[in-house]
Structure 1
Amino acid sequence: MRIAPITPGTRPELAALEAQILAERGRISPLYQILLNSPAITHGWEQMLSAVRNRNSLPASLRELVILRVAILNRAPYEFDAHVPHALKAGVPQAVIDATRMPSIESDAPFSPAERVAMQLTDTMTRDIEVPDVLFADVQIHFDTQAQIDLVATIAAYNMVSRFLVALQIGH
């Protein structure tokens, strides 16, 4: 790690923030121990990522597939490993999890049509940034307006997470 983590419980001024993280996540992970070096960022991060992970309209299985794919594309193994248990708990078969590791999403990958479109959107947003109209038209076929927002926000948020982890070498 490039920045020293803050050991939970060692700074009284962080007690409320640590309690909030514990209530939402059940533990203070190495990621959050690094984030605690900036309380305002930690607070905003926790609010946004908790909404993305716990209060959006996507099925948990789809959300976790998107997170896994972003982690693979951004070479963030810590993030991938952290989310495999969540994907399994959400009912994602191991073969589908394994398919997120492919260099590109092939037509024979074991994804449902909606998952395939979500994976294509994930790849495009992560690799190319700009999303062609034809791809977004496919997104609109499979997802209502709220789910479109939640899908794009999930992809964008986990690009932020994985890039933060990689830049600061968290989980190495």
Structure 2
Amino acid sequence: MRLPAPRIAPLTDSELTPEAREALAALPDYAQAFNIFRTQAHNPDALKAFLTWGNYVLSPRNSLSERHRELAILRVGFLCRAGYEFAQHTVIGLRSGISAAEIAAIKQGAAAAGWNPLEAAILSACDELVGNHHISDDTWAALAPLGDTGRVDLVYTVGQYTQVSMLLNSCGVQLDPGLPRDPDLG
């Protein structure tokens, strides 16, 4: 975690406006209490727009497989030092079939042992997009199995989770109860 306390505190039930309640109602019941969404509920219109786009990125409409999407999200969360994002998506990644050993390897990136060529290219693309806002020709070519739609969806996914990481880090969103703090992310 970048900050020891929130700069913008998540809204409590008693602080929610009718507009904030409406925006949160678009989420599954279990997610309505998450600090990320309760923090964004300060601006219900922005939260609604955020959820519309985020729901695309996390849905089957995104052409990336669930595994590929979660590899990218976890790598971006780690690169951005977003402890909240990495913790939330560790849970999602494990449910999507990524092993605990692979989650540890994500921190090492494409050079870690065990990645197939496409997975290594996805991790490299994350590094390039976060660091340089551009995918190199070699990495673009290695992403060919994703097709043009998949390559664009990868850029969308990395962009979305870079934005999410900036929000989490800057607002000081703290871990939800039960999420373990990653020792490599403070």
Give the TM-score, by structure 2 length: 0.83
Pick from 159, 169, 178: which aligns with 1:166? Answer: 169
Shift, 1:163, TM fit: 1.1
1:88 alignment partner in structure 2: 94
Alpha-carbon offset, residue 75 of structure 1? 0.6
Q: Give aligned pairs, total.
A: 168
Q: 1:130 maps to what in 2?
A: 134
Q: Distance in 1 between matches of 2:153 and 2:168?
A: 22
Once the two structures are TM-superposed, the CA of residue 26 in structure 1 deviates from its matched residue by 4.0
* Cα distance in structure 2, aligned partners of 1:164 and 1:126: 15
Q: Aligned equivalents of 2:58 and 2:120: distance in 1?
A: 20
Matched, 1:37 2:42: yes
Other-structure match for 1:58: 64
The CA RMSD measured in Å over matched residues stands at 1.7
Asked whether the 8 Å contact 1:105–1:116 carries over to 2, the reply is: yes
Shift of 1:84: 0.8
Is 1:28 the counterpart of 2:37 in the alignment? no
Q: How far 1:145 moved relative to its partner?
A: 1.8
Q: 1:112 to 1:162 in 2, by over 3 A?
A: same
TM-score using structure 1 length? 0.89
Q: What is the 5 A alignment of 1:3-14? A: 3-8=8-13, 10-14=16-20
The sequence identity of aligned pairs, in percent, is 28
* Aligned-partner SS, 2:140: helix
Which segments of 5 or more consecutive residues in structure 2 lack a partner in the other structure? 1-5, 176-186
Does the 8 A contact of 2:64 with 2:146 survive in 1? Answer: no
Deviation at 1:11, TM superposition (A): 2.0
Residue 22 of structure 1 and its aligned partner are, at CA, apart by 3.0
Unaligned 5+ runs, structure 1: none
CA contact 2:20–2:42 (8 Å) conserved in 1: no
Higher RCO, 1 vs 2 (CA within 8 Å, ≥6 residues apart): 2
Give the one of 1, 25, 43 matched to 1:19: 25
Which secondary structure does the structure 2 equivalent of 1:21 belong to? coil
Which of 159, 167, 181 matches 1:156?
Answer: 159
Divergent runs of 4+, >6 A: none
Which shows bigger deviation, 45-54 or 9-18? 9-18
Deviations along 1:128-170, one digit per CA (max 9) or x if unpaired, are 212222321222x221122112111101100000111111111
Q: How far did 1:65 drift?
A: 1.0
